[in-house]
Structure 1
Amino acid sequence: MRADRLITDCQLATMVPGGAPYGTIEDGAILVRDGRIAWVGARVDLPSHQAVQTDRLDGRWVTPGLIDCHTHLVFGGDRSGEFEQRLGGATYEEIARAGGGIVSSVAATRAASEDDLYASALTRLEGLKASGVTTVEIKSGYGLDRESELKMLRVARRIGREAGVRVRTSYLGLHAVPPEHRADRAAYVDLAIDDILPAAHTEGLVDAVDAYCEPIAFSTNEVARLFDKARDLGLPVKLHADQLSDGGGAELAAKYGALSADHVEHTTGAGVRAMAQASVVAVLLPGAYLMLRETTPPPIALFRQHGVEMAVATDCNPGTSPVTSMTAALNLACVQFRLTPEEALAGATRIAAKALGLQGDIGMIEAGKIADLAVWDVERPAELCYWLGKPMLTSRYLAGQPN
C-alpha cells in the first residue's frame, strides 16, 4: 500500500461508535494517503506499505481533530464592561433592551476593517487551535447591514484559507435588529432575507443559515421566512433555540430539518421528540450557560432517552461566552450538564461533524475520512475533559499534514 505518512506508536481514540469506549485501538497505527486515512488499526495488523514519512508518537493518544461547531469568532471590540454589569446584577435581557449586547458589538464590527477583524479573530483562534481544534464554524451577525455582513463572512473564508483550520460559515443576519431599523423591524427582516442572504450566497460565502429565535430577538414566523429563503437557495439551516425561554425553537428547527438546534436549555419534551424524529443535533453551549449564570440546564436526560445526539461547542463570542478553549468547553459540559467524558468528546468530534453536515469527511479516525488529527500528552482520553486549563496538545494534523 502506498502512503504519504505512517503515524505509529500511539493510542487511538477513534470515536467510532459501537465498540470499545472512545473507539479505542491500543498500540495503533494510521496510514495517510492524499490527505485521507487509508488504513487504521492495531500496529500488529499494519499492512505492507511504502510510507514517505513515519511519525512515531511515543505512546501518545490521538483523537480526531476537535470540531468547534458554534462560534462567533469574527467581531470587533469586546464587551467586558457588560460582564461587569452582569456581575453587578443586570440581566442579559436588561442590557440588550438598553442598547447593549449584540448591538454594541455591531458598532465595533462595522467600524473595523477586514484586516482588523482578521487579526483580532486570529488571537482567539490560537486558543482554539491550542486546544486541538482543526475545524471551526464561524457565524456572521455582528454586521447587520449588507456591507458588514459580507465583510464578516469574507474574513471567515480568509481564516479557512490562511489560518490552518477548516472553516464552515453560517449567515446569522437575524441575530438582532440594528439601531437604524428599530422603528421598522419588518424592513430589516426583509433586508436580511431578501437582499443580504442572496448577496452572500452569490459570493459563495455561506455554508448554512442561522437565526436567533427568542422574544428579545426574532419570532418563529420571521425565522420561518428566513428558512424558506435558505431552502430556496439550497442551504441547510441551524437555529439558536430556546436559550432563554421555550419559544418553540426546537420544533421549528425540526420542521425545517435543521442540522442543529443550539443552546436548548428551555426545550420541552415536545421539542426533544421533534428533534429526535428529524435527527436534529442538540448543540450544548456550557460557556454561555456559565457566563450568564443560568440555572435551567438543557434536558440531557430527555435527549438521551429519545436518542438526540449532543454536540459541544465553545460559543466563542464577545458578550456571553468569551471562551477560546475547546477542552474548557468539554470540562464545563461534564461538570455543569453531567455529560460523561465519552459523550463530551463525541460531542466535539463525531457529533459536531454531523452538526455541520460534515460527518462523511471528519469527526472519526476511520478509513476514508480526512486525516484531521489531534495528538495529546495524556494517559487516558477522559483527561481531555478533566483538566481545566492544562496544556495537553502536542501536535495537530490537518489533512495529514502537521499543522
Structure 2
Amino acid sequence: MVSSQSSPLLWRNITLFDGLEQFPEPMAVLVEHGLVAGLWLESEFDPSQASGAKEAASGGVMTPGLVDCHTHLVYAGDRAGEFEQRLEGVSYETIARNGGGILSSVRATRAASEDELIAASLPRLDALLADGVTTLEIKSGYGLTVADELKMLRVARRLGELRPVRVLTTLLGAHALPLEYTGRADDYVSLVCDEMIPAAAHERLADAVDVFCEGIAFSPAQCERVFQAAQRHGLAIKAHAEQLSNLGGSALAARYGALSADHIEYLDEAGVRAMAEPGTVAVLLPGAFHVLRETQLPPIDLLRQYGVPMAVASDANPGTSPICMPTLMANLACTLFRLTPREALAGMTAHGARALGLPHLGRIAVGAPADLCLWDIRQPAELAYAVQAGRLRQRVFNGVVTHAR
C-alpha cells in the first residue's frame, strides 16, 4: 500500500531508536514536507504543537529507514552449483581460479540485456524494501568491459526510478580479472583507469569507485592506480579489503580518504589505526562470512578501541551472500561478530549512511529527511534478536508512507 502525504503526519507513543541510541521514554514524531519536523517526549507533547497533522500510527518501535551500504544487486544467473561445491569441500579461491566465482556471474551478466537485468533485480530489491531499506548502494563488477559495466550502472540507476528508494551506484570495474586479460592484469587496470572510470564519470552513472584488493583479484599497487583515477574524476573511493588475507588494502584506501573498507576480516591494528584517522567506515558483511563458513573474525575490539564506525550490510550477491534480508544481517552481526544489538542497528542506519558519504541520513532528528520504519516489536533489540519477516508496519520514504499494513 502506498499513500502520498497530503498533510503532516504524526506518530504517538513511539519507542524511538534514532540511529545511534534508543530514547529512554516514549516519543511523539511529526513529519512535514519530507522532513522530521518535531520530536517530543510523549509525556510533554501538546497536540497544538502538531495542529492539522494526521495521526499515522501509535505504538511500536521506530527506526531510521535501513541503509544497505554494500550490495551487488544487479546480476544475471545464479551460483547454486558453486554453493554445492563449497559444501563438498572446494574452496572459494579454488572455484575462482578455475573460472567460477565472479567470472561465472560475468558471463551471465554480459549476455543479459538491461531489461532482463531489471527483471532479475527487481524481486531482490523488493525484498530489501519489504525488510525496511530506504537507501542502498548497488555496485557493478559483473561486466568487466566498459560497455557492460556502464550497462549495470544504468540498470542500478533505473531501479531507483522504479521504486521509492534512494540508490547510490559504485563502479567496481576492478572486481576480477576477465578471462580475455589473463596474464595482463596491468593492462586491464589501465582499461579501468583510462576508459571505464572516465566514461562512468562523464555519464554521471557512478557515485563512487571500488576495488577488490586481494590475491585472487588486484594488488595494492594496481588498486592505488584505480584510486588515483577516481580522484581525478571526482568520485568517492571504497575498497573490498582484507577479506581473505592482509595486503594492506584498507590502510591504502584510508590514505586516499576512502568512505569505507569492506569485509576486513584480516585487518590488523595498523590498518585499524589508519582507518581511524580519516574516519573511514568499517563495513562488516556477516552474510558472506556465514555463507563461506569463514573463521577469521573481523577485529571488532580494535575497531571499538580506535573509534572506527562499524556499518553492517547485506553484501547481497549471487555467490557469497545471496541474502536480501537486512534484519538477518543484524542478527548475524551479533551472533557471529559479537556486536551488540545497538551497534548492529547503528551499523544499518547512521553508520551505513556514513559509509555512503550521506551523514544526514540514517538518523531521526529534527530537520533530517523523513526516511523511517515503524516495526511491530516492543524494543529495538528485537530486530537483531529474532529472524522473522513481516514485522515492518510502515515504511516512510521522503515523508511519504510507501508501505503500510
Please state which band the TM-score falls in when normalised by the shorter chain.
over 0.9
Within-5 A mapping of 1:187-202: 187-202=187-202
Query: Which residue type is aligned with residue 366 of structure 2?
Result: A
Q: Secondary structure at the match of 1:103?
A: helix
Q: Contact conserved, 1:6 with 1:51, CA < 8 A, in 2?
A: no
Q: 1:102 maps to which residue?
A: 102
Within-5 A mapping of 1:132-147: 132-147=132-147
Cα distance in 2 for residues equivalent to 1:99 and 1:355: 31
Question: How far has the Cα of 1:140 moved from its partner?
Answer: 0.4
Cα distance in 2 for residues equivalent to 1:157 and 1:12: 34
Q: 1:336 to 1:154 in 2, by over 3 A?
A: same
Query: Which residue type is aligned with residue 38 of structure 2?
Result: W
Q: 2:32 maps to which residue?
A: 33
Q: Contact conserved, 1:396 with 1:402, CA < 8 A, in 2?
A: yes
Q: 1:162 to 1:51 in 2, by over 3 A?
A: farther
Q: Contact conserved, 2:68 with 2:136, CA < 8 A, in 1?
A: yes
Structure 1 vs Structure 2 CA RMSD: 1.5
Cα distance in 2 for residues equivalent to 1:158 and 1:56: 30
Q: Which moved more, 1:230-239 or 1:28-37?
A: 28-37
Q: Contact conserved, 2:74 with 2:140, CA < 8 A, in 1?
A: yes
Cα distance in 1 for residues equivalent to 2:167 and 2:15: 25
Q: 1:6 maps to which residue?
A: 9
Cα distance in 2 for residues equivalent to 1:326 and 1:101: 23
Cα distance in 2 for residues equivalent to 1:319 and 1:187: 26
Cα distance in 1 for residues equivalent to 2:235 and 2:260: 13
1:383 and 2:386 aligned:
no
Q: Contact conserved, 1:261 with 1:281, CA < 8 A, in 2?
A: yes
1:275 and 2:275 aligned:
yes
Cα distance in 1 for residues equivalent to 2:116 and 2:24: 44
> Deviations 1:302-344 (Å, cap 9, x if unpaired)?
1111111100000000000011000000000000000000000
1:54 and 2:54 aligned:
yes
**Runs of 4+ that moved beyond 6 A:** none
1:209 and 2:209 aligned:
yes
Q: 1:85 maps to which residue?
A: 85
Question: How far has the Cα of 1:94 moved from its partner?
Answer: 0.1
Query: Which residue type is aligned with residue 383 of structure 2?
Result: L
Cα distance in 1 for residues equivalent to 2:223 and 2:212: 8
Cα distance in 2 for residues equivalent to 1:255 and 1:56: 46
Cα distance in 1 for residues equivalent to 2:189 and 2:47: 58
Question: How far has the Cα of 1:146 moved from its partner?
Answer: 1.0
Q: 1:259 maps to which residue?
A: 259
Q: Normalized against structure 2, the TM-score is what?
A: 0.95
Q: Contact conserved, 1:4 with 1:32, CA < 8 A, in 2?
A: no
Q: Contact conserved, 2:243 with 2:265, CA < 8 A, in 1?
A: yes
Cα distance in 2 for residues equivalent to 1:193 and 1:9: 52
Q: 1:303 to 1:50 in 2, by over 3 A?
A: closer
Cα distance in 1 for residues equivalent to 2:307 and 2:278: 11
1:363 and 2:352 aligned:
no
Q: Contact conserved, 2:61 with 2:376, CA < 8 A, in 1?
A: yes
Cα distance in 1 for residues equivalent to 2:298 and 2:233: 32
Query: Which residue type is aligned with residue 379 of structure 2?
Result: R
Query: Which residue type is aligned with residue 88 of structure 1?
Result: E
Query: Which residue type is aligned with residue 219 of structure 1?
Result: S
Cα distance in 1 for residues equivalent to 2:164 and 2:75: 19
Cα distance in 1 for residues equivalent to 2:53 and 2:210: 42
Q: Secondary structure at the match of 1:339?
A: coil
Q: Normalized against structure 1, the TM-score is what?
A: 0.95
- Structure 1: gaps (5+ residues): none
Q: Contact conserved, 1:11 with 1:25, CA < 8 A, in 2?
A: no
Q: Secondary structure at the match of 1:4?
A: coil
Cα distance in 2 for residues equivalent to 1:42 and 1:158: 40
Within-5 A mapping of 1:224-235: 224-235=224-235
- Structure 2: gaps (5+ residues): 1-5
Cα distance in 1 for residues equivalent to 2:265 and 2:331: 18
> Deviations 1:140-159 (Å, cap 9, x if unpaired)?
00000011101100011011
Cα distance in 2 for residues equivalent to 1:73 and 1:101: 16
Q: Secondary structure at the match of 1:134?
A: strand
Cα distance in 1 for residues equivalent to 2:239 and 2:320: 17
Q: Secondary structure at the match of 1:186?
A: helix
Q: 1:291 maps to which residue?
A: 291
Cα distance in 2 for residues equivalent to 1:341 and 1:207: 30
Identity within the alignment, %: 53
> Deviations 1:28-60 (Å, cap 9, x if unpaired)?
222222211122222333574566551342311
Q: 1:251 to 1:160 in 2, by over 3 A?
A: same
Q: Which moved more, 1:278-287 or 1:30-39?
A: 30-39
Within-5 A mapping of 1:173-184: 173-184=173-184
Cα distance in 2 for residues equivalent to 1:114 and 1:79: 20
Query: Which residue type is aligned with residue 379 of structure 1?
Result: R
> Deviations 1:65-94 (Å, cap 9, x if unpaired)?
000000000001010000000000000000
Q: Contact conserved, 1:14 with 1:25, CA < 8 A, in 2?
A: no
